[in-house]
Amino acid sequence: MPTTKKGTSCCSTANLLHKPVWRFATLFGMRRLGRLAKRIYPKEYGGTLTHFETDQPVIALTIDDGLSRGGPETSMANDVLELLAKYDNAHATFFVCSDYVTNQEDSVIEKLLDEGHEVGNHMISDRLFYYNKLDKPEFQTQMRQANAVLDDLEEKHGKQNAKKTKKTRWFRAPQGLMSANMKQAMEEEGNMEHVLGDCYCDDWSFAQEADPLFAAELDGDADPKLQKYREKAMKQVSNLMLSQVKAGSIAIIHMPEKGFREGNLMALEFFLQGIQKRGLRCCNLTEMQQMSQLDEEEETKDNTSKDSGNNDTINEESTLSS
C-alpha cells in the first residue's frame, strides 16, 4: 500500500469501518432500511423520499455539499459538469449550501442550470450535528435564507420566476439528520420535500483518505503505484453504489473539490460507467418525479379500463342469463 513521506496510507478507516457497515446495509437492503427508519422515527423521517417506484431504466443522481467551500480556486464544478455531459448527458440535482454557491462565478451556475441540472437546499453550510438541534423558528429562518439564495439564482439565470412558482424545492438535511422541528418547518413551506436515497456508502471517508495520495502526486512525492491505489480506493465507492442501484434509485455522492474529496470525481466516473453498462440513465429529481407521476397516471388509466371491461362482461352475462 503506497504512503506519502508523512506515512499516510490509503483507506484504513474506510476499509475497517465504513466499508463493512455499508456492505451490511446493502445486504439488508437499502430500501428496507429506509422504510425501517421512517417506521421507527415517523416524526423526523415520515414522508422522506428514498426512491421512486418505476420500472423505467432511470435513476436520480444527487450530489451533496456543492458547489465549493473554497470558491473558484478549489471548485471542480466544471469538471463534474463535463463528466456528466460525457455520459449520455446525465442530469443531477446538486444539493448546495448557499454559502458555497454565492462565492462561485456566474458562468458556472448558468452552465449548471442550462445543461439540465437543478439545485436543492442543503442549508447555509454543512455544519456538523447542528441543524437538528435548532428550535423550529431558528431552523425555519436559516432554511428560508438558503431557499431565497436558490430562488434568486434560478430567477437570475432565467430558469423560472422562482418566487412565484410552487415547484418542489428539494431539501436534504446535512448529514441526513432530521428533527421533528425541521420536518414541521419544512412542511409549512408547502412545496418542500426531504430526500435521502437508497444508493450511498460514505464516499467522503474513502475520498478524504485518498486525498493525501492526490496531494503527493502534485508535490512529486508519489509512489510509482499511486494511480493504481487511487483507483482501487475510489472503485470501492462505485462498486458499493453499483451493488445497491436499481431502477428508481436515488444515488448520493459528495461534491469533489481540489484538495478535498478530490477522488470523488474518479468515483463518480466509475459509477457512471457502471450504470451505463446496465442501460440505466441519470435524471434529476424533478425529472424523476414527473416520470413517476406519469407512470401513476398510466396505471390509473389501465386499472380504470380493466374495471370498465369487467363491468361490461358482467352486464353481458346478466343480459344473456335473463
pLDDT of residue 55: 86
- The three cell numbers of residue 205 are 471517508
Q: What is the DSSP string of 247-271?
A: TTBEEEEEPPBTTBSTTHHHHHHHH
DSSP 8-class letter at 3: B
pLDDT digits (tens, 9 = 90+) for 124-151: 999 999 999 999 999 999 999 999 999 9
Quickly count: other Cβ atoms within 10 Å of residue 286's Cβ: 16
pLDDT of residue 1: 43
State percent of the chain over pLDDT 70.
Answer: 82
pLDDT of residue 233: 85
pLDDT of residue 157: 83
CA–CA gap between residue 313 and residue 104 (Å, rounded): 64
Q: Residue 71, by phi and psi: left (phi above 0), alpha (psi -120 to 50) or beta?
A: left
Q: Say if residues 17 and 25 touch (Cβ distance below 8 Å).
A: no
Q: What is the mean pLDDT of residues 188-192?
A: 94
pLDDT band for 306, please (50, 70, 90 cuts). Answer: low
Q: Say if residues 142 and 134 touch (Cβ distance below 8 Å).
A: yes
pLDDT of residue 4: 45
Q: Distance between the two ends of the chain, CA-based, in angstroms?
A: 85
Q: What is the DSSP string of 122-182?
A: --SS--TT-GGGS-HHHHHHHHHHHHHHHHHHHHHTTS--TTT----EEE--GGG---HHH
pLDDT digits (tens, 9 = 90+) for 248-271: 999 999 999 998 999 999 999 999
pLDDT of residue 5: 44
* Residue written as grid cell 448520493: 252
- The three cell numbers of residue 194 are 426531504
Q: What is the mean pLDDT of residues 273-292?
A: 96
pLDDT of residue 180: 98
pLDDT of residue 167: 76
pLDDT of residue 13: 60
DSSP β-bridge partners for residue 194: 171
The more confident residue out of 60 and 155 is 60
Q: What is the DSSP string of 155-171?
A: HHTTS--TTT----EEE
Q: Which of 69-78, 164-173, 202-211 is least confident?
A: 164-173
Q: Which of 22-31, 161-170, 202-211 is least confident?
A: 161-170
The more confident residue out of 85 and 322 is 85
pLDDT at residue 160 above 80?
Answer: no
DSSP β-bridge partners for residue 316: none
pLDDT digits (tens, 9 = 90+) for 30-48: 999 999 999 999 999 999 9
- The three cell numbers of residue 49 are 423520499
pLDDT of residue 293: 85
Q: Which residues contact 135 (CB under 8 A, 6 or more apart)?
A: 181
pLDDT at residue 161 above 50?
Answer: no
pLDDT of residue 258: 92
CATH number for the segment(s) 12-296: 3.20.20.370
State percent of the chain over pLDDT 90.
Answer: 67
Domain locations along the chain: 12-296
pLDDT at residue 6 above 70?
Answer: no
The 10 Å CB-count burial string (b at 16+, else e) for 65-79 is bbbbbeeeeebbbee
pLDDT at residue 313 above 70?
Answer: no
pLDDT at residue 11 above 60?
Answer: no
pLDDT at residue 295 above 90?
Answer: no
pLDDT of residue 302: 67
Amino acid letter for position 39: R
